[in-house]
Structure 1
Amino acid sequence: MTGEALPARTLASRLVVVARAARAEDYAPVLDTLAEAGIRSVELTLTTPGTFDRFADLRSRFGDALDLGIGTVTTPAQLERAIEVGAEYVVTPITSAALVERAVAAGMPIVPGGLTPTELFASWSAGASAVKIFPAGQVGPGYLSDLRGPFPDIAVVPSGGVDAEGAAAWLAAGAVAVSVGGPLLGDAFRGGDRAGLRARAARFVDVCAGAS
């Protein structure tokens, strides 16, 4: 099956920031800083209470600057809600044929997670926009190089423990983008310094733009 591609702005930036906050009310100031630093794609996670309720307002406010996706989608009901509120893509940490098939039918870009070749290829062949190697920190960029042998065309987004140096290595190994959380956000959702966040975000933007 052929699924919907990830948004062009996300693919061009080669970087998705995974935002996990204690509450959805905390998103906006961080998104402001990320957008100022050149970030172009943010995954808002369902582990943050209130994400669905705040999504329309956040998309209205930041849609000109950011692609906003919804992550940690694990059930059909969550996927349907993500479609309803207008997510620009969805991300799931699991391998689920049902979720991929429904997203493809709805024209919703989806990035399902997996670690083994069987899991990753199952989602890719079902029509996933890309597949998320998770947790990427357990395997490293060389794993993607190995996957390229049997699966030369697979689109991969590593997630989990990807720092700036790792982002460059994963992109050099052939990842279409990297998914980054803690190494970029740091203490941003715990009252951290906005200038520090802006500097970290700008560094990742530069790394991803310059990676070969």
Structure 2
Amino acid sequence: MTGERLALPERTGASCLIVVARAGDAAEYDRVLDVLIDVGIRSVELTLTTPRTIERLPELVDRYDGALDLGVGTVTDTEQLRRAVLAGARYIVTPVSSTDLVHAAVESGTPIIPGGLTPSELFASWSAGASAVKVFPATQVGPAYVKDLRGPFPDIEVVPSGGVDLAGAVRWLDAGAAAISVGGPLLGDAFSGGDLAALRERAVAFVDVVAEHA
């Protein structure tokens, strides 16, 4: 490993739950984030596939400072990473295994969770200094994969992402995942005009389950 491994942000590590927010536009974030914070969500990954995410990030960081870790996800190159860090991202998430991205994040002092699926991909990111590794898509392997990885890599920290539902969250955490990354099963249609009361119910269910099993 090159240099010291950065810990995940405190709220993210303590809550063991990252909500992946993928909206039609960054203007849609606020109404959803307000609900998530109110029910106890403490870490949200804003995706670069949502237009204007970087532009709005400083404002959102200021608005939710002290209540929420805002990370930036779907980062695939060092320029995106640089802009996200400068805008105030508390952590970086990638869908790919790239030691260049890991090194750049570590050098900037920003925790990073790079994606991968195979043992070689995940270990390359972990040994380069990743704070945790994102198993993506998690539905392709299942919770037992945590134990399989920890055979040869006993210290590796795993965050499953992609299709993790409420029941899956329990199984992954019981298997030893450091946190779970959840999108559609929690957010549902919230970013397309869906009922915020229904969003609240789903979010509460995830918060309660994770609190019991983390």
Q: TM-score w.r.t. structure 2 length?
A: 0.97
Aligned to 2:73: 71
Aligned to 2:93: 91
Is the aligned partner of 1:57 residue 2:71? no
Shift of 1:109: 0.3
Match of 1:11 among 13, 18, 25: 13
In the aligned structure 2, how far is the partner of 1:36 from the partner of 1:168? 22
The CA RMSD measured in Å over matched residues stands at 0.8
Q: For residues 33-81 of structure 1, give each alpha carbon's deviation from its aligned partner in whole angstroms, at most 9, with x where no partner exists.
A: 0001110000000000000010011111112211000000001110000
Identity of aligned residues (%): 66
**Mapping of 1:1-212 within 5 angstroms?**
1=2, 2-211=4-213
Shift of 1:126: 0.4
Equivalent residues, number: 212
Q: Is the Cα contact below 8 Å between 1:91 and 1:112 reproduced in 2?
A: yes
In the aligned structure 1, how far is the partner of 2:20 from the partner of 2:158? 16
Q: TM-score w.r.t. structure 1 length?
A: 0.98
Shift of 1:145: 1.4
In the aligned structure 1, how far is the partner of 2:146 from the partner of 2:183? 20
In the aligned structure 2, how far is the partner of 1:146 from the partner of 1:3? 22
Q: Is the Cα contact below 8 Å between 1:70 and 1:82 reproduced in 2?
A: yes
Q: Which amino acid aligns with 1:211?
A: H
Q: Is the Cα contact below 8 Å between 1:93 and 1:112 reproduced in 2?
A: yes
Shift of 1:167: 0.5
Shift of 1:198: 0.6
Q: Which amino acid aligns with 1:3?
A: R
Shift of 1:3: 2.4
Q: Is the Cα contact below 8 Å between 1:3 and 1:107 reproduced in 2?
A: no
Q: For residues 83-110 of structure 1, give each alpha carbon's deviation from its aligned partner in whole angstroms, at most 9, with x where no partner exists.
A: 1111000000000010001111111100
Structure 1, gaps ≥5 residues long: none
In the aligned structure 1, how far is the partner of 2:65 from the partner of 2:204? 19
Q: For residues 135-180 of structure 1, give each alpha carbon's deviation from its aligned partner in whole angstroms, at most 9, with x where no partner exists.
A: 0011110111111111111001000000011011101111000000
Secondary structure of the corresponding residue to residue 203 of structure 1: helix
In the aligned structure 2, how far is the partner of 1:189 from the partner of 1:135? 22
In the aligned structure 2, how far is the partner of 1:4 from the partner of 1:148? 20
Q: Which amino acid aligns with 1:159?
A: S
